[in-house]
Amino acid sequence: MGGGSVVVLGCGLMGSSIALDLLESNSVGKVTVVDNSIDRLKTLEQKAARKPSGDLISSSSHLRDKLQTREFDITKNEDEFKKFLSGFDLGVGALPHGIAEKAVLTAADSKIDFVDLIYSWRYEDGSALDAKAKKNGVTIIPACGLAPGLTNILAKYSADQMEEVDQIKIYVGGIPEVPKPPLNYRIVFAVESVLEEYIRDALIIRDGKRVNAPALSEVEELIFSELPDQRFEAFITDGLSTLPETLKKVRYMEEKTIRWKGHAEQVALLIDLGLFSERPINLHHGSSRVAPRALLSTLLERKLAMHQGDKDMTLLRVDVKGRKRRGDRSTRVKEYEMVDHYDAATQTTSMARTTAYPCSTVAQLILEGKITDTGFIPPELAIRDDRFDELLARLGRKGLNIKEREFLAD
């Protein structure tokens, strides 16, 4: 069996989608998925057995043959984890924020290439990891999902086509196709990550300087050309990731999360009521103490879970405004836009598709020798020139269609 060996760390919604996509690639010979939940691993095995084969594989039995699973808690034994990783050509991280850093650092020590969905939010912390990765001759690509990840790639590529960039605005969000109370939202990834997004100050660029802006602020209305009768809202969140370091001469830069209209106001009310607090409080009856955020997280996970028949969609827009040549009188806007929907045929959420496929595609480009740079490399630096066109073409074949247009700024 040809192709490289890949280990996927984490078998949640995103990790399982990454693994299933990798199984269909000729550049991948074996996929091993690691998780501390045997139930999640069994569910993945069942999905692989049922999955319709793609163009690259003749039958679903090949998927089963290429897939291995292992129940393993990577936090328990560091030496065993390092030895385990060293047996693969490449690793992919789809782990919670709390242990993502451990996986990335161990991968660098184990001398394997690694692509991670979330690590690292702050590129300036990556110098030591960059030095280690270069010394060991490996490629480490952090924050390579939808946002951060694909959004950063689109923004950097567009900015590189201009000599002067005034503004970059990124809008992205996963929402239910049909809004339903409460909050007109459904949980499509970890609820704690959603809550953190609503309270963490956002790093943005204003007049060329880094400043912190409160999450949920600067709410604006959005309309998408594919959904002309729908009205959405977008508000500041902390999602620029590595862009402030890789694009240092942009005067204004921000990322905003998209939701159905009214969502930000409803969440702000929950915050004002103290329900995001992690400090335990006494209940009126009895001696029990509970942290409001823990209670809220539990309630939202139950109330906002996607059920049979629920469908989600992902909205993305990246606007880069500037001039192609210094001294140009006309300012232009380069815009990328995507509206993606739940895949009923494979019963895959849009958020899983749009997050997993950029990550798995970049992993395949490394295995194929099309990304050879070593070090700690943000995705917007790894995907450039011909790699950019190839990434978008491959995503398009998976059904992620990103529309591009350019127009004069108002």
**Homologous superfamily of domain range 150-263+303-352+401-408:** Dihydrodipicolinate Reductase; domain 2 (3.30.360.10)
The residues near 136 (Cβ < 8 Å, ≥ 6 apart) are 108, 109, 111
Burial status of residue 138 (CB atoms within 10 A of its CB: 0-12, 13-18, 19 or more): buried
Retrieve residue 174's tokens.
């996963």
Superfamily covering domain 4-145+355-397: NAD(P)-binding Rossmann-like Domain (3.40.50.720)
Report residue 149: phi and psi, to 5°.
Answer: 135, -100
What pLDDT does 61 receive?
60
CA angle, 299 then 300 then 303, to 5°? 85
322 touches 312 (CB < 8 A):
no
Q: What is the pLDDT along the chain (410 residues), one digit of tens a residue?
A: 468 999 999 999 999 999 999 999 999 999 999 999 999 999 999 999 886 654 444 445 667 789 999 999 998 888 999 999 999 999 999 998 878 889 999 999 999 999 999 876 555 567 889 999 999 999 999 999 999 999 999 999 999 999 999 999 999 999 999 999 999 999 887 788 899 999 999 999 999 999 999 999 999 999 999 999 999 999 999 999 999 999 999 999 999 999 999 999 999 999 999 999 999 998 877 678 999 999 999 999 999 998 888 999 999 999 999 999 887 889 999 999 999 999 998 889 999 999 999 999 999 999 999 999 999 999 999 999 999 999 999 999 999 999 999 999 98
Listed by start position, the domains of the chain span: 4-145+355-397, 150-263+303-352+401-408
pTM (global) more than 0.75: yes
Q: Distance (Å, rounded) from C-alpha 106 to C-alpha 86?
A: 9
Q: What is the DSSP letter of 6?
A: E
Which pLDDT does position 33 carry in this prediction? 98
Q: 323-354: b or e for each residue (b if 16 or more CB lie within 10 Å)?
A: beeeeeeebbbbbbbbbbebeeebebbbbbbb
Residues whose CB falls within 8 Å of the CB of residue 76, separated by 6 or more in sequence, listed in order? none
Give the strand pairing for 28-35 and 4-9: parallel
What are the backbone dihedrals phi and psi of residue 353, each rounded to the nearest 5 degrees, phi first? -60, -50
pLDDT at residue number 58: 42
State residue 57's pLDDT score.
Answer: 43
> Rounded to an integer, what distance in angstroms lies between the CA atom of residue 18 and that of residue 52?
16
